[in-house]
Amino acid sequence: MIDRTPGKHALAFIFITVLVDMIGIGIIIPVLPQLIVDLTDLPLARAALWGGALTTLYALMQFVFAPVIGNLSDRFGRRPILLLCLAGFSLDYLVMGLAPVLWVLFIGRALAGLFGATYSTAGAFIADISPPEKRGANFGLIGAAFGLGFVIGPVLGGLLGEIDHRLPFFVAAGLAFANLVYGFFILPETHKQENRRPFDIRKANPVGALIQMRAYPVVFGLLGAYALFYLGHASLPAVWSYFGMEKFGWSAFDVGLSLAAVGLTTAAVQGGLARKLIPLLGAKRAVFIGFSIAVAAYFGYAFAPTGWSVYVVILLGAFAGIGGPALQGIVSNEVPADSQGALQGATTSVMSLMAVIGPGVMTWVFFLFSNREAALYLPGAPFAVSGLLTLGAIFVIWRVIGRRTVTG
Rg (Cα) of the chain, in Å, rounded? 20
How open is the CA angle 192-194-196, to the nearest 5 degrees?
Answer: 75
Tell me, what's the pLDDT at 314? Answer: 95
Tell me, what's the pLDDT at 77? Answer: 79
Three-class secondary structure of residue 405 per DSSP: coil
**Distance between CA atoms of 5 and 188, rounded to whole angstroms?**
6
The CATH number of the domain covering residues in 10-184+205-401: 1.20.1250.20
**Distance between CA atoms of 143 and 368, rounded to whole angstroms?**
32
State the average pLDDT for the chain. 80
Torsion, Cα 267 270 275 281, to 10 degrees, reads 140
pLDDT digits (tens, 9 = 90+) for 285-301: 899 999 999 999 999 99
Residue 311's CB is within 10 A of a number of other CB atoms, namely 16
Tell me, what's the pLDDT at 408? Answer: 52
**Does the pLDDT value for residue 177 go beyond 50?**
yes
pLDDT: is 66 or 185 the higher one?
Answer: 185
Name which of 390, 400, 374 is nearest 221 in CA terms: 400
Tell me, what's the pLDDT at 10? Answer: 67
Tell me, what's the pLDDT at 45? Answer: 47
**Does the pLDDT value for residue 188 go beyond 50?**
yes
Torsion, Cα 387 393 399 403, to 10 degrees, reads -90
**Does the pLDDT value for residue 101 go beyond 60?**
yes
pLDDT: is 121 or 278 the higher one?
Answer: 278
How open is the CA angle 3-171-93, to the nearest 5 degrees?
Answer: 95
Q: Is 164 left (phi over 0), alpha (psi -120 to 50) or beta?
A: beta
Tell me, what's the pLDDT at 291? Answer: 95
pLDDT: is 102 or 183 the higher one?
Answer: 102
Q: Answer yes or no: pTM beyond 0.85.
A: no
Name which of 112, 24, 103, 121 is nearest 60 in CA terms: 112
pLDDT digits (tens, 9 = 90+) for 337-357: 777 767 777 787 788 788 888
**Does the pLDDT value for residue 323 go beyond 50?**
yes
DSSP secondary structure letter of residue 119: H
CA distance from start to end of the chain:
35
pLDDT: is 151 or 90 the higher one?
Answer: 90
Tell me, what's the pLDDT at 376? Answer: 85
**Residues 27 and 168 sit within 8 Å (Cβ to Cβ):** yes
Tell me, what's the pLDDT at 19? Answer: 83
Q: b vs e for 60-75, b when ≥16 Cβ sit within 10 Å of the residue's Cβ?
A: bbbbbbbbbbbbbbbb
**Does the pLDDT value for residue 174 go beyond 80?**
yes
pLDDT: is 162 or 303 the higher one?
Answer: 303
**Does the pLDDT value for residue 406 go beyond 60?**
no
Alpha carbon 209 to chain centroid, angstroms: 19
Highest mean pLDDT among 24-33, 91-100, 252-261, 269-278: 91-100
